[in-house]
Amino acid sequence: MATETIAGHEIDVDDEGFMTDSSQWTEDLAPELAKAIGIDALTDDHWKAIRFVHSDFGEEGESPTVRRVSVETGLSTKQLYQLFPKKPGKKMAFIAGVPKPTGCV
């Protein structure tokens, strides 16, 4: 496990850069994490998904699937792919400070 400094915060990350301790996440980290994976600005819809993913992980103990995020937030799967291109589940988890979803390669 490695430690990185992002937005002035020391965070523990795995080999792929995913945070390993979701309690270290704060909302001011999200824009920096998003930029690191090519998302320059976070819209209200981005935040709706990100906040849900972080909260749901805290309640369920695992990163939610794209389908679960879609159903629970009201954002369609198509919208999620537009907001988080190519791999929305992985990108949402990365920005929300939770582990990579199971099933993501």
| CB-side neighbour CA atoms (13 Å) of 55 | 10
Verify whether residue 70 is a known catalytic residue: no
Are 88 and 80 in contact, with CB atoms under 8 Å apart? yes
d(CA 104, CA 31): 22
Q: Which among 20, 37, 55, 104 is annotated as catalytic? A: 104
SS3 content of the chain, % helix, strand, coil (to 5): 50, 10, 40
Report the catalytic residues.
104
